[in-house]
Structure 1
Amino acid sequence: MSSSSKLKITGTEIHDMFVVEPKVFWDERGWFTESFNAQDFASAIEQDYDFVQDNHSFSRQWTLRGLHYQTEKTQGKLVRVVAGAVFDVAVDIRKQSPTYGKWAGVELSAENHQQMWIPPGLAHGFLVLTPTAEFLYKTTDYYDPTSEACLAWNDPAVGIKWPLPEDISPNMNAKDLAGLSWDQAPKF
């Protein structure tokens, strides 16, 4: 892993998962950033991926989406927030990984401009921390509903520490509420 002059790359608790910080240029008018450059990204993470799909979601505060992954056509994801803030989480479900079974979480926001690189083989989700948030992600493969899986967001075997107030229940859809336990979820 190396950093380019345009990107700062910081490792996380999960093998091959990185916080990506593009350089932000500020002046009296505001700011400018190059949010993605394929050459700089490939050089910084020392691997080349082709991104084939961009997704954009809007969510209200305390919405929890995930923990999603695909058992076929696995997706690497480069994620970022363009409005608001989220607590972004990934769980390593790659049996041969030195960080198998571990999770990592980072606050991503429109203000901090940070992005998260989530390699294929991880379950991914996020919790919205602000009144609303807009979340963008680039994927390395297309969405495949026939191979989609969901790991339970609150499985004690994984032990994610979501920054959720004790008196608040997350806003979730039926698919996410029916997430599989760590023991039941398919692994790679």
Structure 2
Amino acid sequence: MTSHSSSLRAPLGLALVSLLVFGLLYAIAVAGLGGLLFPRTATGSLIEREGRVVGSALAAQPFADARYFQPRPSAAAYDPMALAGSNQARSNPDLRQRIADARVAVAAREGISPEAVPGDLLTQSGSGIDPHISPEGARVQIARVARARGLDADQVGQLVARHTEGPQLGLFGQPRVNVLVLNLALDALSRAVAAQAQ
């Protein structure tokens, strides 16, 4: 019995040390280091206005009002706890029909021809909550947003240009516009214009 318990002591000790070092201490160290080096990202890149969290720069949210720019469609219903793409192949007739229906709906909403609708306003991202749209996807929405807010389209266009991000590190990805950040800036612009009019 003594030899059996001594033969278990080493593997159990290794398991306990591994659990504490890699399961607890490593996680605490990495989370602490991430919080020190990237404090905003480590807390979810939350955006606050007037002491209240209004969203995250990393997750899309729906905007139903015509006064706002619209994000990409979401297969996850914009739920960050249900991240998912549609997982439909290009050959899937349901996907083709959904894109055709979305093309007609977006064209009608924006008052443009169906051929002018950018692809990112028709397709869902792999995560289902991509917070960005292409600059083209934002530009086709400028006229509607400006009209709904009673703003000059040039002002809204300049706002889109100011909020267009370049490729990451100047190399990776395409230019993009964060829809939530743009919509918050749009609210601020509307307030400023209203204050000037008074």
TM-score, normalised to structure 2, is 0.24
Higher relative contact order (CA 8 A, sep 6+): 1
User: If you compute each CA radius of gyration, which structure gives the higher value, 1 or 2?
Assistant: 2
TM-score, normalised to structure 1, is 0.25
Structure having the higher helix fraction is: 2
